Amino acid sequence: MENPFRYSFNEKRYHTFNYYLKTTYKRKVSKVILDGGFTCPNRDGTKGTGGCIFCSQAGSGDSNLALTRSILEQYETNKKVMDRKWPDSLYIPYFQSFSNTYGPLEKIKAMSAPFFEMDEVAEVSIATRCDCLEEDVIDYLDAMAKIKPVWLELGLQTSNDEIGRIINRCYDFNDLKEALYRLEKTSIKTCVHVMDGLPFEDKEGMLQTVKDIAHLPFEAIKIHMLHVIKSTKLAEMYEEKPFELISREEYIDLVVRQLELLPPEIIVERLTGDPIKEDLITPAWLLNKTTILNDIDKLMRKNDTYQGRLYE
């Protein structure tokens, strides 16, 4: 069966991050995880405490091998791991933990500026929140984006604000929309994070989130499956009253349906997370990332579908 999807040079029927990088840079590009030493306004009491209920104590930066070191030491340490898999790569420093624009501009400059001077760095990626984007920070990153591409990764998880309150997100969908429209006027690229399986959200709600963002100005998306990890508020909720998570088969079907709703040019950076086995409570099937991605591919071929098929 011929692949009808144009943003692909293999059997993939969605616009992979790998396709974007290889067609842009003609070589392997590896992301290097970093921790800039920031926090979040829903952790420090500005808007709330405890952070999002699913977020770990490391602010989702659990796979960083050099958490206590300086930024450049983290970069060199974690880069070596990538080099063992893919020697002679280019790199994307990825400030993953917490909200990396939640602080004074000078701290953000100190964190990021060295990487714009490195020939081996292709792009810079910064995870943050839509309510942590002061004008001076946007102006600085916009200027830096003239030197190398700059990505801001913005957590949304769901467009349903009631679910957003349950997960202690402490901002609304309109805040995300306003941030994307502000950033559209700059050279900064944006990636939106969506999470399936949130407590009390049904599958139609998860599909609705993708429908709600499909016409907004952003360049990439990450889709995650909710997972319960130790030492989180979600773990406390689960241990007190275990709730049912969507199954592996349901997740694969849901992701395929979500991809159908997205514009074909949107880059898909992730379709599943990478939980650490020792910290994971449930669902165990998330540990088999490769087979999940393979089965998404199989279902798309079986259904003869592709990213954007139902986009209107």
Is residue 59 over pLDDT 50?
no
Cα angle, residue 115 at apex, residues 224 and 125 outer, rounded to 5° = 15
Does residue 312 form part of some domain? no
Whether the CB-CB separation of 292 and 240 falls below 8 Å is answered with: no
- 222 bridge partner residues: 193, 270
User: How many DSSP H helices and E strands does the chain contain?
Assistant: 10, 9
User: Considering the chain, what percentage of its residues have pLDDT values greater than 70?
Assistant: 96
Pull the structure tokens for residue 2: 């011929």
Does residue 291 form part of some domain? yes
**Predicted pLDDT of residue 192:** 98
Does residue 56 form part of some domain? yes
The helix (H) or strand (E) run that includes residue 193 is: strand 189-196
DSSP state of 148: S
**Predicted pLDDT of residue 52:** 95
Does residue 204 form part of some domain? yes
Does residue 310 form part of some domain? no
**Predicted pLDDT of residue 287:** 95
Does residue 10 form part of some domain? no
CATH number at residue 102: 3.20.20.70
Q: What is the mean pLDDT of residues 187-197?
A: 98
pLDDT digits (tens, 9 = 90+) for 93-120: 999 999 999 999 999 999 999 999 999 9
Does residue 260 form part of some domain? yes
Domain span at 41: 17-302
CA-CA distance, 153 to 265, in Å (whole number)? 17
Does residue 256 form part of some domain? yes
| Tally of domains in the chain | 1
Pull the structure tokens for residue 237: 């909720």
Is residue 67 over pLDDT 50?
yes
